[in-house]
Amino acid sequence: MAVLVERFARRDGSEQSGSVEQEGSINGSPEVRHEMVAGRGVEAIVNSLSKWVVSILFASIILLRHDGTALWGIIGSVSNSALSVVLKRILNQARPATTSRTDPGMPSTHAQSISFISVFAVLSVMEWLGTSKVSLFLSFLIIASGLYFIRLRVSQKLHTSSQVVVGAIVGSVFCIFWYTMWNSLLLEAFESSLVLQISVFLVAAALTLAFATHVVLNWFRNDK
């Protein structure tokens, strides 16, 4: 179990086990140290898996929709990630000193991406089911899960609170803007123009392939 925890923590650029052990030594007994390491270890694993859980949610929504809005959502998700990279370079705010990551932390890309996908999922659910007890329950579940995954970025000392809050706000606002722009300006034209349909499909497919390639390469790079 210790090896698994260490591997996931290393992939996400954190050194949580070491910092937890130091906190445990301050707190005294071996029992306290063990409980703290175990607790942080579980959160480290959940944090590392959160990107895959959110990606599966997004992929499920895309497959269920299989329409122009789904393609537009893919383009928006990748654009949202690119916006986060640009903002990081502009703001250039350091991450917490407790992490080994040296890239800027403002805003949190994880928080921004999770917020975009969560809001997109909620908007899709409300569009399908309307305002009902089922849709409200599903929306609450999606938002609560997203907020928990975002909180882990702070508890794992990978970001400050302000960095994840800004990321969450930017991702949510960008998703609402992206979704509204599609329904207000592009949906009617998309439905009546074969050229636009092909164009949106090709752009979405190209961005999906590029993003998947980036994820795989990054996975192998961190696994070395």
Q: Tell me the pLDDT tens digit for each residue of 179-195.
A: 999 999 899 999 999 99
What is the reported pLDDT for 18? 44
Q: Alpha-carbon dihedral of residues 73, 75, 76, 82, nearest 10 degrees? A: 150
Distance CA 68, CA 65 (A): 8
Distance CA 7, CA 35 (A): 19
Q: What is the pTM of this model?
A: 0.75
Distance CA 132, CA 146 (A): 21
* Distance, C-alpha 150 to centroid of its chain: 8
Distance CA 193, CA 29 (A): 69
- Residues 95-122 pLDDT 10s: 888 877 788 889 998 899 999 999 999 9
Average pLDDT score, the chain: 79
What is the reported pLDDT for 129? 87
The arithmetic mean of pLDDT across residues 189-209, rounded, is 91
Question: Which H or E element spans position 65?
Answer: helix 30-65
What six digits make up the tokens of 45?
A: 């694993």
Contact partners, residue 71, CB within 8 Å, separation at least 6: 200, 201, 203, 204
